[in-house]
Amino acid sequence: MPESDLSPLHAVLEELASQGRAALLPALHAAQDLYGHIPEPVAFEIGRVLRVPLAEVHGVIDFYALFSREPAAKTVIQVCNDPVCAMAGSEEFLKTLRRQNVTVHQAPCLGLCEHAPAIIVREAQRGHVKPGKITETIGEAPRSLLGGDIALLTRNCGTGRATALLEYEAAGGYLALRKVLTLPPDQVIAEIKASGLVGRGGAAFPTGLKWEGAAKATGERKFVVCNGDEAEPGTFKDRVIMEEDPHGVLEGLIIAAYAIGANKGYLFIRGEYHRAFKTMAVAVAEARAGGHLGASVLGSDFAFDVEVRRGAGAYVCGEETALFEAIEGKRGFPRVKPPFPTTHGLFGMPTVINNVETLRNVPLILTLGTARYRSLGTEKSPGPKLFCVSGDVARPGLYEVPFGVTIRHLLEDLAGGIRKGHRLQAILFGGAAGAFATEKDLDVRLSFEDLRAAGLPLGSGVVMVFDESRDLRDILLRLARFFAHESCGKCYPCQIGTQRQMEILERIAAGGALLSDAACLSDVGWTMTDASLCGLGQTAASAVISALKLWPRLFEGR
């Protein structure tokens, strides 16, 4: 599209205009798709029609990695360059790309770790790519790799395609919602509280308490939001659920809305997850046509509808308040808390925001009943849990187990152990924001309480495995690059600390550590941990600090 032709843009803006600023990200996505970038006259029109000050339009374009003010080549390809893909050969792949006429973005973890090395070409996810000519059919189309002791959360997954509404209902889907619509909302909340469900997005907050807080809060409107912004390196569980069992997530969201009295919901999906976005959008359309959404949900007097939104390339927008800012059409700066979302959330209104996996648990709890649900897992960590196993194991993939099995069981019995001819060096637990485990931790049970006692964060369920041949300094550098790239820049400890941490690790990885480097790294790390505004900065040094404790010699300088 020549950028002088603004008519297709006007057609889009006409539809979005009534939403005002809240439509800024959708408008910028449309412009980026139409013109391949967002030139000045286009940005000007968007600001004028949506009534957003021009300087702020500029600020929003610049915040999100998927928007660009500069033109790019026709073929844009995103190559994951985080630890697991790097170990599987993404660097070699990148080298061959430089000789072809494509625009290459080195992307943060694309959430395809079980298919490493992974890329996205023109919206298509491709795994196990090898150096060669770039087409949409390079490598393989990733198919979900599932395993585990149970298949409750993943009961409709593993087919390689989305479960349609009719299939979902034939397998007992939406029965939980039908039941819920006959109960008073506080009884639904009581059930969720009794189940002991805690959030699976990383912060492990009790879901029932969160719902109760929002139900009791006063506000002229209330919202529910599904956090599908999954971008923690090593995490791919939410992608698999959204791609293959969209109604399982949607049903959970509708139940949450009924419980707190919300009439509008948002599904916010990571910008790089094209397939999950399309799948969820289709599911919402199916649900609307089937009467599961709309002015009268399944014939009841409860009205609820959902809007599906795309993120635009910012890991920090997984942080709940930054995600609200993104929906509101702003830069994804996390807000100061308190106040918390249950009283002051999206558009300042009481809001429940839950992770995809959390919401998938909801219909399960209501169909199984609390007692059967709690018979899985441990007393303090009831229920099933998804783990994203990647790296140097025989069978990387998504594993569903009851809480309480050991790390050894997950790695050896389920994932087939360390790849042939190698031995375990380290496991990064919980994601880039996690900590390292070693051989001595293998018999720790996978539950919130056991992991906490062992000093390991459960995080988003990441289990990234490294054998003895891997250079941990290189792994740490990649994690540090990720955080430096993703820091929003709002607060000083993280804005500057992620940059300094990366610079020091660059020196260490290159074998040129200074005598002062270990102490500087530790100080920067603790300052970010103690003084940063949001969870990103507070955990940006977590893996580094754990490595400093476990392997001080890695950091020795001259």
Partner 1 sequence: MDTPVQLTIDDQAVSAAPGTTIHKAARAAGIVIPTICYHDYCTANALCRICVVEVEGSRTLVPACVAFVAEGMRVRTQTERVRRARKNILEMLASTVDLSEAPEILALMKEYGADAQRFPGALKRDPPLVDDNPMYIRDYAKCILCWRCVQVCASDAQYTYAINFEKRGFHTQISTFFQRPMPLTTCVFCGQCVGVCPTGALKSRRAWLLEQGMLE
Ligand X SMILES: Cc1cc2nc3c(=O)[nH]c(=O)nc-3n(C[C@H](O)[C@H](O)[C@H](O)COP(=O)(O)O)c2cc1C
Nearer to ligand X, 90 or 532 (CB): 532
Q: Name which of 154, 63, 66 is nearest 110 in CA terms.
A: 66
| Cα angle value 32/113/269 (rounded, 5°) | 40
Q: Give the range of 51-59, 77-85, 294-302, 530-538 binding ligand X by CB under 6 A.
A: 530-538
Burial of 20 (0-12, 13-18, 19+ CB in 10 A): middle
Asked whether 349 and 341 are in contact (CB, 8 A), the reply is no
When asked if residue 524 is in the footprint of ligand SF4 (CB under 6 A), the reply is no
When asked if residue 542 is in the footprint of ligand SF4 (CB under 6 A), the reply is no
Give the shortest CB-328-to-partner 1 separation in angstroms: 14
Nearer to ligand SF4, 367 or 495 (CB): 495
Q: Report 287-316 residues binding ligand X (CB under 6 A).
A: 316
CB atoms within 10 A of CB 554: 16
- Cis peptide upstream of residue 39 (ω within 30 degrees of 0): no
Nearer to partner 1, 289 or 336 (CB): 336
Length of the chain: 558
Instruction: Provide the mask over 205-224, with x wherever binding to ligand X is found by CB under 6 A and - wherever it is not.
Output: x-------------------
When asked if residue 534 is in the footprint of ligand X (CB under 6 A), the reply is yes
Burial 349-363 (b: 16+ CB within 10 A, else e): bbbbbbbbbbbbbbb
Structure token digits, residue 353: 């925001």
When asked if residue 251 is in the footprint of ligand X (CB under 6 A), the reply is no
When asked if residue 510 is in the footprint of partner 1 (CB under 8 A), the reply is no
Parallel/antiparallel/unpaired status of strands 264-269 and 223-228: parallel
Instruction: Provide the mask over 290-319, with x wherever binding to partner 1 is found by CB under 8 A and - wherever it is not.
Output: ------------------------x-----
When asked if residue 557 is in the footprint of ligand SF4 (CB under 6 A), the reply is no
Instruction: Provide the mask over 379-398, with x wherever binding to partner 1 is found by CB under 8 A and - wherever it is not.
Output: --------------------
Give the shortest CB-124-to-ligand X separation in angstroms: 22
Instruction: Provide the mask over 333-372, with x wherever binding to ligand SF4 is found by CB under 6 A and - wherever it is not.
Output: -x--------------------------------------
Q: Name which of 121, 129, 135, 127 is nearest 76 in CA terms.
A: 121
Nearer to ligand SF4, 361 or 532 (CB): 532
| Amino acid of residue 388 | C
When asked if residue 536 is in the footprint of ligand SF4 (CB under 6 A), the reply is yes
DSSP class per residue in 212-225: HHHHHS--SS-EEE
- Rounded-to-integer distance, Cα 213 and Cα 211, Å: 5
C-alpha torsion angle, residues 516, 517, 518, 521 (rounded to 10): 120
Name which position in 200, 222, 331, 374 contacts ligand X (CB under 6 A).
200
Q: Report 337-356 residues binding ligand X (CB under 6 A).
A: 353-355
Q: Name which of 250, 358, 365 is nearest 308 in CA terms.
A: 250
Q: How far is CA 442 from the centre of its chain?
A: 26
When asked if residue 494 is in the footprint of ligand SF4 (CB under 6 A), the reply is yes
Q: Report 39-68 residues binding partner 1 (CB under 8 A).
A: 40, 43-44, 47, 53-59, 62-63
Residues that bind ligand SF4 (CB under 6 A): 316, 334, 487-491, 494-495, 532-534, 536-537
